[in-house]
Structure 1
């Protein structure tokens, strides 16, 4: 089983992904680690990524997912996965890949980004991500509000996952 915590920057993907991995006793991999230096530089400078910037990044994450599957290991990944076409690359038709959409209002996301330190993402890019976001439906992801506490988000995610 592969869980992918998804959503725009500031949604808490890394924190929730780490907590889910701890609860599930499996590995955690942050999708940001797979961004090229050029992608990170663009985002640091407030330049939105294009699909052409994202395709190699997504394929690299998919390869890491396949490595976990080949080793018969469960894992939690994070990836913004903003568009259905991006999620299709990551899922690649696998029934054991499950997305967890961390959904929040622009106001909450903006507040979080303004107080975050040590990340390459320029907060001015939030609107670009929201404009790009194609929210997944119930057929595609578990949706959990980021207005819950991190512990509640993990509990709600696991509850919805078990119900599937």
Structure 2
């Protein structure tokens, strides 16, 4: 069955792990992938080279920079959904519009489509929002080695962050908790959805 161009398979789930840079998306995604046996797609790997160069130079990305990247991730999500697979995708997804593109692709930015006519959620896709304050995440980024994202860009990410609302199928995770505790919370969430 297709709804709004989506393949629907209620027994399958896609978790989009979202949050600002340095919130722990990759760590949680890797841990969950190993624990659940689900494939994990690291959003950073789908950025065009121009985006990586900009971030490495300390230049914030614009919406126009992000749109091709978000559309590539939308294709990954759609492929997994249509194949009936469970999957994990890490993507900052800072704005509501970005999350709409992940769910609905280019439809979300089509000039003749009213944003209010696009569903804020999709039956099989859930957002895991890694929530933490600026100081904690800044400390983590300073300690992080080998990532192209400059610490100076963290403030710009917080400036544009639009935390997801309940209607967006979101589970908020407090990053002050241990990785193990967050994974347990996700596992409980999965179990609750199967009831």
TM-score (norm: length of structure 1): 0.95
Q: Distance in 2 between matches of 1:71 and 1:163?
A: 23
Within the candidate set 184, 187, 190, 1:158 is matched to 187
* Counterpart check, 1:110 vs 2:138: yes
Q: C-alpha distance in 1, partners of 2:182/2:124?
A: 21
Query: 2-side partners of 1:160 and 1:78: how far apart?
Result: 18
Larger of the two Rg values belongs to structure: 2
Residues 7-59 of structure 1: per-residue CA shift (max 9 Å, x gap) = 00010000101111222211011011000110001001110000000000000
* CA positional deviation for 1:161: 4.1
| Structure with larger RCO (C-alpha < 8 A, sep 6+) | 1
Structure 2 residues not aligned, in runs of 5+: 1-12, 105-118
Aligned with residue 36 of structure 1, among 27, 48, 53? 48
User: SS in structure 1 opposite 2:167?
Assistant: coil
Q: How many Å separate the matches in 1 of 2:40 and 2:52?
A: 21
Runs of 5+ consecutive residues of structure 1 not aligned to the other structure: none
Corresponding residue SS for 1:99? strand
Secondary structure in 1 aligned to 2:165? coil
Q: Is the 8 A contact 1:4 1:98 kept in 2?
A: yes
Aligned length: 164
Aligned to 1:76: 88
Cα distance per residue 1:45-93 (max 9 Å; x no partner): 1100000000000000000111112222111010000001111111225
Shift of 1:136: 0.8
Q: Distance in 1 between matches of 2:191 and 2:176?
A: 22
Matches within 5 A, 1:5-154: 5-92=17-104, 94-140=122-168, 141-154=170-183
